[in-house]
Every structure is written in C-alpha cells, then in structure tokens.
C-alpha cells in the first residue's frame, strides 16, 4: 500500500499523541475529559492538513465503515421516529462512533512504540484509580462494591480492567526476557485480585474465561492433545456444575413452605409491647417470614439511641433502612425489637448503616454476596413483591418488556427516538413496579432490535463482528469483541457516553493495531 505519511515528528504529532493519551486515561475515569480529549483530537486532525489524501485513505478503510455503520444505523432510524428531541440527544451520545474512527483512521498511523505507550497509559490509569477506590472503600469499610469504583460506572470500570488484562497478556507473550514480563504479570495479578474483592460479577467471569482460554491455548501448543482435551472437559464441567447448583437453589426457593400457623407465637415482647407478625411487607428469605417478631415502636426508640440515621430513611447504599435492620436481625435469628437490637455490637450497627442486610455478607466473598441478593430478590419476585430494588430481577422484568415490544414491531422497530416512550408504555401495560423509572432493556441487542427491528439487529451484529473477522481473528481485537459482546448481554453498552466511547475508541484502536500486525506500514 502506498505510504501516505512521513516519519517527521513535529508539534502536531505530539499534540495528537497527547490527545490520545488524555482520551485513553479518561475512558476509565472521567466523562468530562472524554469530551475534552475528543475536541483536542479534532484540533489535531485539522492541524495535520493533507485533507484530500487522508480522506481518500479513510474511505477505503473497511474497519472505518464497519464502526461508522452503527452510527449510520441510528441515523436511518430517524425515518420513522416521532420523538426527535430524544433522537437528537441519542445521536449526540453516539457521536464517538463517527468521530473517533474518522479521526484515528485518517491520521498518521501509530508506530509500535506509540501504541505500547498508550496501552501502558491505560494500564497505569486503571491501577492508580483502582488503588484510590480500594483506599477509599476500605477506609470507610464499604461493603457495597459500587463504592470501590470512583469516576465511572463500576461495570464500565471492570470492562476496562478485563481489556487491560488481555492487552497485558499479549504484551507478555511478545517479550522474550523475563525481566520485561514481570511488570505485566504484576499488573495482571493485581487486577484479578481487585476484581475478586470488587465483586464485579461480569468482569470476573469475563476475565476468568479469558484466562482459561489463554491457558488452554498455551497447553494446546506444548502438551499432548488428550491432556488439553481433559482440561477443556473439566472447565466446561465446572461451568455446568455452577449452572446446575444455581438452578437447584432456584427450585428449592420455589418449593419453600414457610410457617403457616402463628397461634403459638408470642403476642408481646419482653417489655409488654405488641408484636406484629408480618407476612406482607417484609416477605420471605430462605423460606422464612422476615417480619415475624416485629415491634416497630421498640425498634424506632432503640435505633435512635445507637445511630444518627433516620429509621424511616435510607441506609448508605440508598436502601430503605428499616428493611435493612429487620433483615439483618432476621439473618441472626434475633427478634425485631429492643432485645434483638441490644444484642448487636456497635460494629454491626455501623455495617447495617452501610447497607449490610444479612450477617452472612460479612464473611462471604463478593460473588457469593451477589448470589445471595439474587436469590432473595427471586424469592420476593415469586411472592408478588415485584423487583423491589433487586437489579437482577429488574433485568428479568425489562427483558420481558423488551420481548413484548419487539413482538409488536419485529421488522421496522420503533425508530431511534421512540424507545423510552415505548418502553414506558409497555411497563405501564404490564403494571410493572418499574413503570415510573426510566430503565430500558439493559441489553444492547434487545435495545437495537426494539429500535430497528430484527433486520437492524442482524446489521448490528455484522458490524460488531466484521472487524475481528476481517483481521483474521487478531487476538487483541477478538478478545475485545468478546468482552463487548458479553457486556451487551447485561448492559445497554453504547447508550451512555462512557460505554460508547469505550467501544468506539478501542474497536478503532485495536482494529488499527490488527492492521499493522498483519501488514506493517510506515508511520
């Protein structure tokens, strides 16, 4: 291919690299700096000059068209949109899908040294931010993992860590000297430990899968086929056993038979105040009524003497504090009255304030705690209490709503701007407890199908996987595509600034690296 750019290093080159450095550091830390850095890149693009040749080169780039086509799909969706106010807002959010591939693919190509520098900027930023999050979280003794991610969403942050692990593995594989491998290994170990402590379920699962795949790849090259096959079978078996165990727990919850005869329960507390043996408000947990032995009067008086938080207000995680107190007492087998509260230590009172609703949470790892909350939410959902703040059950409800919307308009969809209103109408029709929220699918593929129909989904999937296929499954680009695909099953990944910038930049950046790996060019 014709060499379009010279090796001259000038101010405009350094300014472009500085803009990329700011952007790659902002992606896991700051929405504001993401916007600023893209303005800097726009200035760098103008300073570069030679517009005609660069645009000619850009229009011939298939990676550019694959990424830009996702933005184009949303423009086409304006044809049958009625809410243009939201449509324009949505297009502004997705501008990185056009701006970043347009700039990066039409600028002088980064050499290997520059690319590695940017990757290490990303890694160092993640490490420093993670350390800050851990320091703040452990200092305040937070239990909720969301507090360990300063800057952006904990989910987006964990996806950045997963990608960094991939890039570091690739970097290690390229080094022959162990002294050069050690820094990468240290960061990888730190990131894995962070994800485990952090309790990022999606990030932990993605990282574990990628690690297993990498190990199997190495084994396949060095060990006999039968050993590698056994490892694959064991890995798949472990996954299936985990799914089976969760399924058994769900069946067990369905078959719980809680206490029905309340005639033998005491009518009053030891202080003579009446008990309310509640079976309506607090529901069940592990098959037992949470609200038995409940004396609101004593709890209010006793709680006010031990905490400054309002009994009828929120805990530090934003949950109803009253429910957190009652659930915690129930998990310890204590009565929900003055006597029960008196048996709690000051440390336990502080933990309740922080949102700990089950004593087991203090001794279990973050993943186990997440499963406990899921099972609790599922139990309440079966009993007709709705989603009640449980994120997994909310996703289940939103998936049901999404499928119902798709059934009404499977081919054309509802257009770029009408998704929020259509979603609200569907939740009202279902009489869902989420009808007064602004929540949507929490699944990018469902969101695309709602907006643009099944043909739009097919188009989107082709655009998503084309760069990896066209690069002949370059390791870094393919791993990133896998990370994005998994995230899209659980999130509306490109519906937020942080998500769409993460996707647009790294899909562009790694596509560029894949091109350079397979066909070296002069920068």
C-beta of residue 505 within 8 angstroms of C-beta of residue 24? yes
- 160 contacts: CB under 8 Å, gap ≥ 6: 27, 28, 122, 126, 502
Contacts 24+ apart (CB under 8 A), 29-37: 29/125, 29/129, 29/150, 29/151, 29/152, 30/151, 30/152, 31/152, 31/497, 31/498, 34/497, 34/498, 34/501, 35/497
C-beta of residue 423 within 8 angstroms of C-beta of residue 414? no
Q: How many angstroms separate the first and last alpha carbons of the chain?
A: 12
- Full-model pTM: 0.79
Whole-number pLDDT of residue 198: 67
Whole-number pLDDT of residue 6: 45
- Residue ranges with strand state E in 49-173: none
Whole-number pLDDT of residue 70: 97
Give the three-class secondary structure for 303.
Answer: helix
**Can you tell me the mean pLDDT for 215-242?**
72
pLDDT at 502 over 80: yes
Give the three-class secondary structure for 274.
Answer: strand
Residues 91-143 have pLDDT tens digits of: 999 999 999 999 999 999 999 999 999 999 999 999 999 888 777 766 665 55
pLDDT at 519 over 70: no
CB neighbourhood size of 381 (10 A): 20
pLDDT at 34 over 60: yes
pLDDT at 1 over 50: no
Residues 361-401 have pLDDT tens digits of: 766 666 666 677 777 777 667 666 667 667 777 888 899 99
Which 8-state DSSP code applies to residue 344?
A: S
Residues 274-289 have pLDDT tens digits of: 998 888 788 777 777 8
Q: To the nearest whole number, what is the mean pLDDT of the chain?
A: 84
Tell me how far apart the alpha carbons of residues 254 and 16 are, in angstroms, rounded to a whole number: 59
CB neighbourhood size of 291 (10 A): 21
Whole-number pLDDT of residue 499: 92
Whole-number pLDDT of residue 2: 38
C-beta of residue 67 within 8 angstroms of C-beta of residue 106? no
Tell me how far apart the alpha carbons of residues 312 and 320 are, in angstroms, rounded to a whole number: 7
**Can you tell me the mean pLDDT for 161-176?**
88
- 463 contacts: CB under 8 Å, gap ≥ 6: 66, 67, 69, 70, 73
Give the three-class secondary structure for 50.
Answer: coil
Whole-number pLDDT of residue 522: 39
pLDDT band at residue 253, thresholds of 50, 70 and 90?
low
Phi, psi of 274 (to 5 degrees): -70, 140
- Which of 131-140, 189-198, 328-337 is predicted with the least confidence, judged by mean pLDDT? 131-140
Whole-number pLDDT of residue 369: 65
Whole-number pLDDT of residue 371: 72
pLDDT band at residue 520, thresholds of 50, 70 and 90?
very low
């Amino acid at each position: 291919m014709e060499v379009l750019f010279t090796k001259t290093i000038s101010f405009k080159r350094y300014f472009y690299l500085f803009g990329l450095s700011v952007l790659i550091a902002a992606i896991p830390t700051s929405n504001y700096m993401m916007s600023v850095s893209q303005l800097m890149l726009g200035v760098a693009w103008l300073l570069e000059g030679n517009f005609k040749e660069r645009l000619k080169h850009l229009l011939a780039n298939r990676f550019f068209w694959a990424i830009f086509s996702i933005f184009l799909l949303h423009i086409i969706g304006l044809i049958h949109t009625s809410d243009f106010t939201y449509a324009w807002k949505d297009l502004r959010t997705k501008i990185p899908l056009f701006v970043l591939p347009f700039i990066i693919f039409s600028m002088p190509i980064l050499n290997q040294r520059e690319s590695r520098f940017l990757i290490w900027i990303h890694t160092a930023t993640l490490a420093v931010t993670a350390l800050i999050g851990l320091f703040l979280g452990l200092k305040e003794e937070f239990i909720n993992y969301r507090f360990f991610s300063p800057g952006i969403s904990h989910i987006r942050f964990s996806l950045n860590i997963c990608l960094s692990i991939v890039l570091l593995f690739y970097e290690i594989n390229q080094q022959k000297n162990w002294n050069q491998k050690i820094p990468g290994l240290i960061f990888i170990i730190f990131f894995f430990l962070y994800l485990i402590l952090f309790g990022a379920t999606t990030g932990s699962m993605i990282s574990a899968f990628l690690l297993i795949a990498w190990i199997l790849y190495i084994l396949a090259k060095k060990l006999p086929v039968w050993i590698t096959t056994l490892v694959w079978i064991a890995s798949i078996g472990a996954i299936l056993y985990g799914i089976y165990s969760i399924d058994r727990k769900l069946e067990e919850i369905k078959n719980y038979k809680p206490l029905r005869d309340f005639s033998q329960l005491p009518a009053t507390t030891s202080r003579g105040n009446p008990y309310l043996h509640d079976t309506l408000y607090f529901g069940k947990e592990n098959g037992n009524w949470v609200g038995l032995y409940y004396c609101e009067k004593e709890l209010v008086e006793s709680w006010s003497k031990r905490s400054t938080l309002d009994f009828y207000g929120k805990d530090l995680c934003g949950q109803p504090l009253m429910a957190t107190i009652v659930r915690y007492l129930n998990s310890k087998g204590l009565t929900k009255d003055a006597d029960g509260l008196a048996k709690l230590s000051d440390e336990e009172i502080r933990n309740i304030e922080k949102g700990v609703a089950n004593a087991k949470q203090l001794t279990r790892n973050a993943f186990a705690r997440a499963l406990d909350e899921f099972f609790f939410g599922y139990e309440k959902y079966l009993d007709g209490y709705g989603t009640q703040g449980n994120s997994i059950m909310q996703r289940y409800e939103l998936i049901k709503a999404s499928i119902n919307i798709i059934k009404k308009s499977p081919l054309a969809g509802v257009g770029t701007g009408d998704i929020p209103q259509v979603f609200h109408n569907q939740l009202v029709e279902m009489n869902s407890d989420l009808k007064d929220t602004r929540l949507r699918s929490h699944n990018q593929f469902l969101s695309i199908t709602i907006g643009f129909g099944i043909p739009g989904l097919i188009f989107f999937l082709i655009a998503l996987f084309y760069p990896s296929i066209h690069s002949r499954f370059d390791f870094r680009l393919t791993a990133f595509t896998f990370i994005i695909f998994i995230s899209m099953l659980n999130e509306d990944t490109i519906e937020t600034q942080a998500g769409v910038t993460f996707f647009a930049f790294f899909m562009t950046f790694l596509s560029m690296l894949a091109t350079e790996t397979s066909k070296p060019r002069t920068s």
